[in-house]
């Protein structure tokens, strides 16, 4: 599926907003689609797939019904294919910051990039929260965030011709360090230990480039910074030998991984228990605010299991629970995708002939 993410800052009036494009948010699109409810999907990450893609894209999952084994990325690709007929609109790279009930019973929703929605229903499929980069804790470093210190690369061109230091030992750190060799003036990879989480092929390539004097690897931790003319000019790096060395630089890229934060969800007037959203019943998975549903890892109820399969079930029931807000005068019946001509029409498939 070709994901079209809209330009930030627009305004959309809709029946359903899904917060979170993890596996459960994606399947929510499907279940709403069967009921002819179109959805907008928002995620703070730039890619869809939630934990499956962010934390274990290449690892196999063995407990998805009828799929004996698939990776996190393959599951996501399959879900995207499955929701294709319903043409959801994605708004990626933006966190939902505001959810507010309106006088007309609908909700105002707003993102960190200023995209605004008015919606009849909301499905919070926010997993363990929105993923934020882990920051470097060195004193004084925060003053240079956005000018010389970065936690993600938005514009690679700004690092070209510069002396850059890349911190971290995972795939992002290695991929960007390798990417900037030959483009930056110099590249130093700084990691706290000899072992790397990154793909072995990237580690081998990095070591070869170090042997060829194309880049440098330093094992150590940032213990302080030096500034000159209000600019970050050097890092103090303490090695395992206890010796502190000075590393001059123009730009610092830090990839210490992502950590989930419940973030703004805590401020939307929803019942929360140990960082999860309580649902009123397991009949609809609706929260204490009528019209707002919670599905997947973000919700809690007696017996909850944080499994993808549980989230899929919750998404089906939440869609039925939400339908009366969208079609108050319509009686909604459950139908089989195998036999219902109506569902075949919404899925865009031919009706099979049964003997
Ligand atoms: C290593 C590992 C292995 C696993 N293996 C299995 C397995 O084998 N089988 C299984 O069933 N489960 C497994 N799980 C658990 C499974 O990944 C989760 O149950 C599943 O991802 C939950 O899906 P979700 O859609 O509810 O949430 P998530 O996948 O967490 O997705 C939530 C999304 O919401 C976004 N978000 C949050 N807050 C906001 C906001 N305010 N604005 C915008 N976006 C927001 C996040 O960025 C994220 O992309 C595993 C988990 C891990 C970490």
Contacts of 65 (CB under 8 A, 6+ apart): 309
**Cα(186)–Cα(250) distance, integer angstroms:** 10
Selected residue with higher pLDDT from 58 and 196: 196
210, 241, 256 — which closes off a domain? 256
> What are residue 56's DSSP bridge partners?
none
The rounded percent of the chain whose pLDDT value lies above 90 is: 84
Q: How many residues does the chain have?
A: 355
**Together in a domain, 125 and 176:** no
Q: Are residues 299 and 342 in the same domain?
A: yes
Helical pair 200-211 and 171-180, crossing angle rounded to 10 deg:
40
Q: What is the dihedral of CA 260, 261, 262, 265, to 10 degrees?
A: -110
Q: Are residues 338 and 191 in the same domain?
A: no
Same domain? 125 vs 165 = no
pLDDT of 257 above 90: no
pTM > 0.85: yes or no: no
| Enclosing domain of residue 94 | 4-131+259-347
Could you tell me if 212 and 315 lie in one domain? no
Indicate whether 183 and 242 sit together in one domain: yes
Residue 162: burial class (beta carbons within 10 Å; 0-12, 13-18, 19+): middle
Domain containing 45 — which CATH number?
3.50.50.60
Domain count, the chain: 2
The CA–CA distances, whole Å, from 275 to 25, 71, 123, 171, 355 equal 18, 28, 17, 29, 52
* Averaged confidence pLDDT in the chain: 94
Q: 307 C-alpha vs ligand 1 centroid, how far in Å?
A: 9
Pocket of ligand 1 (CB under 6 A): 19-25, 42-45, 50-52, 55-56, 61, 63, 95-96, 125-131, 263-265, 296-297, 306-309, 311
Pocket residue to mutate for ligand 1, from 75, 92, 126, 132, most atoms within 8 A of Cβ: 126
Residue 56 assigned ligand-binding role: yes
23 and 167 housed in the same domain: no
Closest listed residue to residue 51, CA positions, set 322, 234, 296: 296
Answer yes or no: is 18 within a domain. yes
Last residue of a domain, one of 256, 281, 311: 256
- 27-80 pLDDT per residue, tens: 999 999 999 999 999 999 889 999 999 888 888 999 999 999 999 999 999 999
Q: Please tell me the predicted confidence (pLDDT) of residue 2.
A: 61
Q: Are residues 227 and 144 in the same domain?
A: yes
């Amino acid at each position: 599926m070709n994901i079209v993410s809209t330009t930030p800052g627009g305004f959309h009036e809709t029946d359903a907003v899904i917060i979170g494009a993890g596996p459960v948010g994606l399947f929510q699109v499907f279940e709403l689609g069967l009921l002819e409810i179109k959805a907008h999907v928002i995620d703070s990450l730039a890619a869809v797939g939630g934990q499956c893609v962010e934390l274990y894209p290449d690892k196999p999952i063995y407990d998805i019904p009828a799929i004996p084994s698939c990776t996190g990325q393959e599951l996501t690709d399959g879900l995207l294919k499955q929701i294709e007929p319903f043409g959801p609109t994605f708004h990626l790279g933006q966190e939902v910051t505001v959810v507010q009930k309106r006088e007309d019973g609908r909700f105002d929703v707003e993102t960190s990039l200023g995209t605004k929605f008015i919606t009849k229903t909301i499905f919070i499929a926010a997993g363990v929260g929105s993923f934020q980069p882990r920051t470097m804790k060195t004193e004084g470093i925060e003053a240079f965030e956005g000018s010389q210190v970065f936690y993600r690369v938005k514009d690679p061109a700004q690092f070209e011709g510069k002396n850059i230091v890349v911190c971290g030992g995972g795939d992002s750190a290695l991929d960007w360090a390798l990417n900037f060799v030959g483009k930056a003036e110099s590249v130093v990879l700084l990691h706290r230990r000899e072992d790397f989480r990154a793909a072995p092929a990237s580690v081998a390539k990095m070591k070869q480039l170090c042997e060829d004097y194309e880049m440098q690897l330093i094992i150590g931790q940032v213990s302080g910074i030096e500034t000159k003319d209000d600019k970050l000019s050097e890092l103090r790096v303490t090695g395992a030998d206890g010796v502190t060395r000075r590393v001059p630089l123009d730009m610092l890229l830090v990839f210490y991984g992502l950590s989930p934060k419940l973030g703004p969800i805590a401020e939307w007037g929803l019942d929360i228990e140990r960082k999860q959203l309580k649902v009123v019943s397991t009949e609809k998975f609706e929260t204490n605010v009528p019209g707002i549903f919670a599905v997947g890892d973000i919700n809690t109820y007696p017996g909850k299991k944080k499994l993808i399969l549980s989230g899929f079930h919750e998404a089906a029931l939440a869609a039925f629970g939400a339908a009366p807000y969208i079609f108050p005068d319509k009686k909604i019946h459950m139908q089989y995708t195998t036999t219902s001509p109506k569902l075949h029409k919404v899925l865009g498939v031919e009706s099979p002939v049964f003997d």
